[in-house]
Amino acid sequence: MNGASAAGSQLSTVSWDHFFMSLNQYFINLRQEAPPTAERIQAYHYYRCGITPQEVDGLRAVLQLITLVVKKDENARIALSENQQWLPLVVLFGLVSCSIPPKLKAELLCTLAAFARTPETGATLWQSMEMSQILQTVSTARGSGGIQVELEEIEARNEEYPLTLAFMELISVLTENPIPAGLGIRIRAPGFQPYIDFLKDSVFLKFTSRAYKKPEEKWEVGAAVLEIFHKLLSAYEVIGEDFLDKPYEVQGEGILAANKPPGFVLMVHMMNESGMLKMILFVLEEAIQAFEKYVPFPGKSALEKVALLCLKMIEAALEKQHEFLDALRQSGASLIVTQMDRLLLGINPRTGRPDYLVNIAKYVAHAAYLPKHALSALHILIGVCQSPLVQTKIVGLFTADEKFSQDLLHGFAMCLESDEPEKVEAKEDYLDIDVSLSQVRNRLREDIVWLLLSTIDHPAPNLAHFLLGFELRKPVDKTNLQDPGVLGCPRTCLHSLVTLLSRGLDSQAGPTCLYLMPKLAELAYHMVYVLSTNSQTYGPTLRYLRMHDFFYRQCQHLPFQSQLSEDSLLMHQSWLLKSVVVELRVTSVNRQRSHAQRMMNLLLSESPDTQSKFAQMDGGFDPDYVTFGDDYSGASHLRSANPAFVDGQVCRKLSSILSSVDFSFGYPGALELEVFSKAAVELLMENCEQRNEQGLALCNVKLLHRILLRECSGMTGAQSAIIARDIQQICSNAVERNAYKETIYRRRQAFDAWRQTIEILLTACPLDLLDGERRQKLLFELLQDLLDKVSKSDAVSELTSPVAGVILTLMAHLTQCFVTPQSAYDQLTDHAQYVSMLDGQNALPGSHDISTILGEVVTGSRTQYASSFQVVLRGLLDHVMRSSSSAQRVRAYLYGALLYYLEIARKPKPLEISASASVERSVASRLANRESEYERLAKENADTLNSYGQNLMDIICRDACDGHDVGRMLALACLDVILTDDYRQAWLNHLSSKGYLQHIIEMFLKDDAQLQALLLPQPEPLRALYIFQSKICMLTKTAATLHGARILLECGVMSRLVECSVFDLRPEPDRAMEGFIPSVLTRYRQQILFPVLRLCLSLLTSFGSGNQFAASQVLKFIVAHADVFMSILRDRHSVLTLESLQELQLTTAVVCRAAVDDGVEEFLLSDAVHTESLGTIRRLQRQMFALLPKYCPSEKQPKRTPEQAAGGLGLDARSEEERADLAVQMQIITEEILANVITLCRTLIAKPGAKSKEAQILFEPSLAEGMARNLRGFEDLTGNLGNNSSRPLNLGVIVYLLSASAHLFMTTLESHKQLYHKYLNVADMSTEVLKEFYVGEKRISDKMSMQQRNQMVSQRLGFILHFKSKELQLLSYVIENCMLILWHHLEFFLVSCKPLDAKTSLLRRYATNQMRKLNDASMQEAAFDAMETGGVDSCVGGLSQDQLMQLKREAVACINETLLKRLEEMEKCYTSGRTRFGFVTAMVRRLRRLLRLHTL
């Protein structure tokens, strides 16, 4: 070699030493013979005497051998590159710089590229390449040189480009590893920019315009440069620092800006209308035109590679553009870029149309033989379609050409219908492994569905509408979807998806897509759900699927079962169930009863195979058998592949679906690392988390692996093996954690779908399809199944937490099943009375025996399900005790469910609708026995609650004291109900002994400051207001028993309320309309004042009227806040409202019960601080007396309808029915106020105590008002009382009240009788008569059945009769007390009071049995003194002889026989069955005797 003879060459030894020493010799010779540097390249064609063509061929063969060995053997590569004798890298670079043929230089560069596969060698080659200036990166005075000149002067002339291809191969290998940050440092601005410029400007932008001897070499050059570009762009990570210029000082050049990273430069070119982007789009257009000819041509494979790389360049730019734009905005740089979607929608200069995306979309149609191109093009479409603004433009582009539109639809549909089975990928997906064509095709199908999912919610028309076959030129919801070929309908993606999911439905194994292509099947079910829930597509989609019986056939195979893992098909199952939920809702709303009932029967059946005999051969259904009962349990024209068996027992399909969701799962084990820090690794794994399409935060294992490798790149030796093991363990643990999160997510989604199905079945579907005992049985089964699943020790909290909400829902529906509607209960009890009055004859039209009805409604179920109730309660309490205190939402749900459960044991209080109080003992005893089941259930509940001991008590009590706001209110509500049923008072004793009750009471002072802040016009969140209300309500229920009331007073509840200042901040009434947030006055009344007043009433009622301590405690509260009580009693409202009347009613009730005992007055007077308190009490009493004339009913006032009355009460803005109801309620409250005032008067005139034989006189001896038609003419007599005048009322007010109440009583009684007769004969009423009772928004419709009409009218009549009965009771009470007050005063004035001379006009009572005399003082002053000083005796105005005679005349005129007979008639008609029977007759007899003996 190198001039040796043939014989010598045969005798020479072939070895590596020979090879490299020969190369070294060539390098020495060529370097000595080389021309000057400036002329080396230009003189190449004539300066070649140092090497012959035969030698060139030999050298190329040697270099090819070296290249092959170095590529295959890493050890040989390292050994050769590190050999200090041969120095192969120096020699090879030296030869490249010599004047040798381009092909030999190309082989040299290929050999260098092989050596560059080792990272350490690659770093050396970068430095050598910079020093040798193969590519001139530093400008010199001699001009340009290097490979760029060879490309333009030699290779372009020869039309062959081996050197350029070899150089790009070297660059490609070198860029496999990170480019040195200081590349070219000290001689130029560091960076890769010169290489990018050469590759872009000299190679890529010109490769299509150069001449080539071999056509395929053209595309090889393009592929090589695009491969480098794509590699650099894909590896680029956007950093904000890249947008800022970094100054760098170069010797001899001054300060220059450092070059940008190559990926940044490429992103800038891709996001502008640069020559690079235009060339990429040009190549794509050229390639698709060549492919569409369907003929072979040279370089086809290279062109395919070029087209694929062009698509990947656009795809990579689309993926990074949002991050790039965000970083650009944050940096504030002046760089100008444009979004890729806008650039791709630009005008193509070759065609004059915006058809870039059309050319890209055409690749999808060639997916059969270009699957990678189709996948990349699809990713580009997904990226572009993320913006809703471009949807209409894209659809317009794709539909402009009908042939292209049809081809595109066909291409997408064919991609989806590919039969390629999916392969299970390895868990170590963080390793970069080339994917196979099978995986590419699978990914292509999945991404097509993702494209549909991502665009379906965009404004119509969008790309998904086009690909799914919906109408584009008219509203989408008007589409009539048909099978392919019907009415010219093309095959679309929707047809392909339905076909995919329907394969295998007629077999026992179920849909074949579940085990052949599970990922695609999951996306397909997801697509069906999205189409079913989209407001524009749900109608056409559900109609088309219903036409194919899609949902019913799919549900026959639920729950889905997989051979791989139990959870692999849960997402498929959840999407299907959610779609079925929508179908059930739509069919129920549209009254498609047969469809809804058929689906319900399938889901609720206990043996899904027994209905096959009822199915028709064509898959239809015979409606004659659609009856859900014990003998019918589901429909299936084929045997189900998944019989509903759980633990060897047949169960409902819904229960089997729930059983398929396992609540137990193990968390991945902890890391055991040798080198890395666990805390640092955990932080790194957290930082690598990214949210996927479902919003699930998963660790990006590839990113984690790349970061770990980068951090440990400098480690060598034995430590590297340990680090490799740690990295392997970290990545495996991250994969396991991702799998754990995905499994939990799948199970939660499956459970959520089951929850939605249950809720729709219970709420939206027709009630008559699932009612009565079957509904109760279903609810008990579901509750027991759920409570059993969450009771397992290994249940995961992430899965058990959502169960609490479902338990709440199910318990609410269970309560509705057992709690008898008030109207039904009243109707049954009243009909029982009616049956008794008719001698046992059945008076309920169309009904069976009354005992049967009462047994079904009142008693049947609670006794039947006694054990089930306790099982559910125990499961619920176990769940409460297992739940963590931090899971306050779960606790709140469980407390709500417990409240619903305890409500089942509440016996409904029947509305009193009958005017007669007499009931046959036989029926009454029967009802009492029937209703005893409430008490039995409540007792069993109390025993079960007490069996859990103090642990459960502490949990609920702690939550009631310091839990979350909602949880606190619900815990307090639970305590409220539990204390009611706790007949052993164990809970009350625990509350008291452990200090919980004391803590709640002591917190009133803290609540006081918060409540004051909430009375501002713009309050903080109102949580403190409702918590305070819940506390008071719980304390009110505690005070309902004597023991509880005593404990509350011992804890100082009234003392703490006395110290609260919020009660003194009563706002002034505001006529403004209330919004969502209640007004300040409403907040004060409803949440602060009313609950406290009810607490006071509860305390007074529990202790009774004779308890001085309780009365004194309440009295202290009244005196402490006397201004508020005084303001309420003044009653200066211009317009009465329901709230103002309720406020007045509660206030008068508290005052009349608290401040009436002599012992209380002595108690107050014993304290010097409260000396003035008695005067305050007297002023309050006078304010109450002033209410008497205002609320007296008018006997002669013209009759007004309830609507007219409501109009005068400020209710004009309400509906007619609401106004009428509110007017009746306000009338009742008005009469209760009147009864409270009369009660105070009655109590004051007969106070118990040391002077009980004497009584006070409260009214003046004048009966003028008793002869009036209306008290409005006497307003001057009563108006001063509102201004704290000491003048008492005249006795005529009592007479007037007595007469008006008696008249109103008889009128109300007659009205009650008429309504009661109608109530008992509702079934006989005509439609016109029925409509009279509903004239508002709830008017009776002609579409209602007769049963619904009768039920509505019965409820309405029961409501009216209840208020009528209550009104009769109140009027009777007022009448009886008025007669007592009247008799007492008349007896005093006519019998005990003897008039004297006119000078003395004061009547005062003396000691017992002494005759009254006239004294010298003024009676008004005496009365004032008596009331202010708190004396026992009260006085009235003076009484002269003339006044006495006038009183007698007025008494005869007012208290006439007509009034007395009316009173006697009232007693005969109403009070004959009551305990006070005979009282009115006795009082009438006494009044007659007084008038007969002392007025004549």
pLDDT on residue 94: 81
pLDDT tens, 462-476?
A: 999 999 999 998 999
CA dist 1021 to 1014, 1016, 1074, 1088, Å? 8, 11, 17, 16
Structure tokens at 298: 């040279």
Which tokens sit at 1201? 């309808």
Q: What is the mean pLDDT of residues 479-498?
A: 91
Alpha-carbon distance of 1028 to 1042, in angstroms, equals 23
Read off the pLDDT of each residue in 347-376 and give the average, rounded to a whole number.
Answer: 92
Query: Is the bond preceding 475 in cis, omega lying within 30 degrees of 0?
Result: no
Query: Across 339-353, 663-677, 928-942, 1400-1414, which has the greatest mean pLDDT?
Result: 339-353
Q: What is the 3-state secondary structure (H, E, C) of 503-517?
A: CCCCCCCCCCHHHHC
Structure tokens at 919: 């009931």
Grade residue 1286 by pLDDT with cuts at 50, 70 and 90.
low
pLDDT at 1396 over 60: no
Task: Identify the residue with better confidence: 369 or 1496.
Answer: 369
Select the more confidently predicted residue: 1417 or 199. Answer: 199
pLDDT at 1162: 53
* Lowest-confidence region among 307-311, 379-383, 1269-1273: 1269-1273
The answer to which of 404-418, 519-533, 723-737, 827-841 has the lowest mean pLDDT is: 827-841
The share of the chain scoring above pLDDT 90, in percent, equals 34
Calculate the average pLDDT of the chain.
80
Place of tokens 């949990």: 955
Who contacts 1212 (Cβ-Cβ below 8 Å, separation ≥6)? 1206, 1219
More confident call, 827 vs 566: 566
Question: Where residue 203 falls among pLDDT bands split at 50, 70, 90?
Answer: very high
Ranges 712-726, 740-754, 1411-1425: which has the least confidence: 1411-1425
Q: Determine the pLDDT at residue 384.
A: 92
Give the least confident one: 202-206, 497-501, 845-849, 1447-1451.
Answer: 845-849
Range 1113-1129 average pLDDT:
90
Share of the chain above pLDDT 70, in %: 79
User: Of 126-135, 303-312, 510-519, which gets the smallest average pLDDT?
Assistant: 126-135
Question: Which residues make Cβ contacts (< 8 Å) with residue 64, sequence separation at least 6?
Answer: 107, 110
Q: Write the DSSP symbol of residue 1416.
A: S
- Give the C-alpha separation, 558 to 568, whole Å: 14
- How far apart CA 587 and CA 132 sit, in angstroms, is 80
**Contact (Cβ atoms closer than 8 angstroms) between residue 51 and residue 26:** yes
Report the pLDDT value the prediction gives residue 1404, as an integer from 0 to 100.
Answer: 37
- Distance, in Å, from the CA atom of 1160 to the CA atom of 1248, rounded to the nearest integer, reads 12
User: Which of 407-421, 526-540, 616-630, 1447-1461 is least confident?
Assistant: 616-630
- Across 464-473, 762-771, 849-858, the highest mean pLDDT is recorded for 464-473
Is residue 1223 within 8 Å of residue 1209, measured between CB atoms? yes
Please tell me the distance from the alpha carbon of residue 878 to that of residue 382, in angstroms, as a whole number: 50
Strand partners of residue 1402 = 1415
Residue 331 burial by Cβ neighbours in a 10 Å radius (0-12, 13-18, 19+):
middle
Does the pLDDT of residue 318 top 70, yes or no? yes
Residue 1195 pLDDT exceeds 70 = no
Provide mean pLDDT across the span 366-393. 90
* pLDDT computed for residue 480 by the predictor: 92
What is the per-residue pLDDT for 427? 44
Per residue in 593-637, pLDDT (tens digit) is 888 889 999 998 764 443 433 333 334 433 333 333 333 333 333
pLDDT of residue 618: 39
Residue-level pLDDT at 375: 94
* Residue with more model confidence, 339 or 1215: 339
Cα gap 177→1274, rounded to integer Å: 106
Query: What secondary structure letter does DSSP report for 1198?
Result: P
Determine the pLDDT at residue 429.
47
Answer yes or no: is pLDDT of 245 > 70: yes
State the Cα–Cα distance between residues 70 and 76, nearest whole angstrom: 6
Residue 428 clears pLDDT 50, i.e. is over it = no
Interior/surface letters 240-268, b for 16+ CB within 10 angstroms, e for the rest: eebbeeeebebeeeeeeebbbbbbbbbbb
Please provide the size of the chain in residues.
Answer: 1496
Whole-number pLDDT of residue 976: 93
Residue pLDDT, tens place only, 70-110: 888 888 888 888 877 788 888 888 888 888 888 888 888 88
At residue 497, the pLDDT reads 94
Kindly report which listed range (543-552, 770-779, 871-880, 1197-1206) carries the lowest average pLDDT score. 1197-1206
Average pLDDT over residues 1134-1144: 86
Interval 493-507 mean pLDDT: 92
User: 3-state class of 1413 per DSSP?
Assistant: strand
Residue 1282 has pLDDT above 90, yes or no: no
Residue 1078 has pLDDT above 70, yes or no: yes
Task: Tell me what pLDDT residue 606 has.
Answer: 67
391 pLDDT exceeds 50?
A: yes
The CA angle 236-241-243, to the nearest 5 degrees, is 85
Residue 341, Cβ neighbours under 10 Å: how many?
Answer: 20
Q: Which tops the pLDDT comparison, 631 or 1215?
A: 1215
> Following DSSP, what letter does each residue of 103-153 receive, concatenated?
HHHHHHHHHHHHHTTSHHHHHHHHHHHHHHTSB--S--TT---BHHHIIII
| Secondary structure, 3-state, 390-453 | HHHHHHHHHHCCHHHHHHHHHHHHHHHCCCCCCCCCCCCCCCCCCCCHHHHHHHHHHHHHHHHH
Is the pLDDT at 1275 greater than 50, yes or no?
no
1231 or 1323, which is more confident: 1231
> d(Cα 69, Cα 63) in Å, to the nearest integer?
10
Residue 1164's pLDDT band (cuts 50, 70, 90): low
Return the pLDDT at 1447: 86
pLDDT band at 1472, cuts 50/70/90?
low
Q: Is the dihedral of CA 37, 43, 48, 49 positive or negative?
A: negative
Residue-wise pLDDT tens digits, 822-844? 544 444 444 433 333 333 333 33
At 1323-1338, the pLDDT tens digits run 888 777 777 766 555 5
CB 258 within 8 A of CB 191: yes
CA dist., res. 1081 & res. 1070, Å (int): 8
With a cut of 50, say whether residue 228 has pLDDT above it: yes
pTM, full prediction:
0.80
